[in-house]
Amino acid sequence: MNVLFVASEVARYAKTGGLGDVSAALPMYLRRAGHDVRTFMPLYKTVDGKGANVVPLLRDVELRLGPHRYTFGVFVAERPGDAPVHLVDCPALYHRPGLYTGDPDEHLRFLVLCRAALEVCQRTGFSPDVVHCNDWQAALLPLIIQTRYRWDRLFEKTRTVLTIHNIGYQGTVGPHAVRDAGLADSANLFHQEQLKDGRVNFLLHGILYADAVTTVSPTYAREIQTPEYGVGLDPFLRARSSTVMGILNGVDYDEWSPEKDKLIPHRYSAQDLSGKARNKEELLSKMGLPNVPGVPVIGIVSRLVGQKGFRLLEGVMPALLRRHRVQLTVLGSGERRLERMFSAWVRGFPKQVAFYRGFSNELAHLIEAGADMFLMPSLYEPCGLNQMYSLKYGTVPIVHKTGGLADTVKLWDPDTGQGTGVSFANHDARAVQWGIEAALGLYADRNVWRRLMHNGMSEDFSWETQAKVYERVYARVVGGG
């Protein structure tokens, strides 16, 4: 199949979170399965083509979006065995301090991405069977294809799949978005009441017009159809519930496994865990914490935003740190309040807590490899990748039982010796405290802990399996089902 895959970030070139990992891995695995997949993302200022063969494909293409005019070019980055990544070059839009902005033209930045992808199809004669749109940034594509590009036989058979990675980000813009999308003639196809209220919700229009809607775990697919998790879009998802499907993300074990990881100092396996102990020493020394044998290390690697649930720790962590011999290594950045919370613990517990504020792929891998436990108290979690990485690294996850966390972490059962981690059902301070103390209790029993690590390490969430599920979805929409 010919697949056009459009996303706002693709790891290796630009990444803020799990969408980047998925957009790098899924196209690659689909390509290995024989499909012609072409990925599109913006050429942000920070994109580094190192390790790829980057060639120019188009330059100086003029694009009108309502009253706005842009000129863009396209480079193609190719790596052996990987799907080509098309980098849309439009410095006026993409040379900003971060990948995402709160700027008034944020929607235009991603409309240009979408339109550039279609223009490249036309100029290269690529007729996509499936356009795979990721998150709000690409969610208007189904409508754009069905209207503005309808005349072009190239897209006659094109079907669309929308994947929702996070319903918390919907891309809500004023009514001028209709014109900016070049859809003034099709204003009647937008949600009329919202338009009257002066709103255009990009993600909603993906839900309305894509041929299939998927999200990134079965539990999240159910959750977002409820008012509690749907962030206002649940009625629309319920209306299309027969096409809404939860497909768990996979893991690229070439990048994220202790046997193959090129970024960690010591590789190891379930059969020989000695490398894990050495990675732990390395982690502690790098983070400036003392290495005290027998003291467990809890790791956190995260965007520091409300979704991730760290506010639950505010009231309980200091007492836990006083009461237990435990260390905490944190990597992340985001909301000031959360950054200040972790910084305050570093000051209050300098031998127990270390916080690296920022983004570091290398440190993320070292924390996975060197920590004993991995904490994700997320309020909601569409899928979550770090808990799956943690399992493979023998780093026992402590998670709130929601979304993909509920689908991937099984609570330890002392009677059967089954289970891969600790999960707690309620989202409150007592529950997270219970979760952490339960994990500390299990850690104290070496045999139990070893079993837990082994159980987790033998789980398999590989993309080989998950990419096949996407192939079936593609086949279904192409077949008209």
Residues that bind ligand ADP (CB under 6 A): 17-19, 21, 301-303, 331-333, 359-361, 364, 383-386
Does the footprint of ligand GLC cover residue 383 (CB under 6 A)?
Answer: yes
Question: 300 is in the binding site of which of ligand ADP, ligand GLC, none (Cβ under 5 to 8 A by kind)?
Answer: none
Residue 265 or 334: the one with the smaller Cβ distance to ligand ADP is 334
Q: Which of 249, 302, 395, 420 binds ligand GLC (CB under 6 A)?
A: 249
Contact 298, 342 (CB under 8 A): no
CB 15 to ligand ADP: min, Å:
7
Q: Which of 9, 14, 15, 17 binds ligand GLC (CB under 6 A)?
A: 17
Write out the two tokens for 251: 């893991």
Question: 303 is in the binding site of which of ligand ADP, ligand GLC, none (Cβ under 5 to 8 A by kind)?
Answer: ligand ADP
Does the footprint of ligand GLC cover residue 397 (CB under 6 A)?
Answer: no
CB 388 to ligand ADP: min, Å:
8
Question: 364 is in the binding site of which of ligand GLC, ligand ADP, none (Cβ under 5 to 8 A by kind)?
Answer: ligand ADP
Report which residue's Cβ sits closest to ligand GLC: 18
CB 240 to ligand GLC: min, Å:
20
CB 248 to ligand ADP: min, Å:
11
Does the footprint of ligand GLC cover residue 385 (CB under 6 A)?
Answer: yes
Residue 166 or 423: the one with the smaller Cβ distance to ligand GLC is 166
Which region, judged by CB under 6 A, interacts with ligand GLC, from 51-59, 69-77, 88-96, 377-385? 377-385
Does the footprint of ligand GLC cover residue 408 (CB under 6 A)?
Answer: no
Instruction: Catalog residues that contact ligand GLC under the rule CB under 6 A.
Output: 17-19, 22, 165-166, 216, 249, 381-385, 404
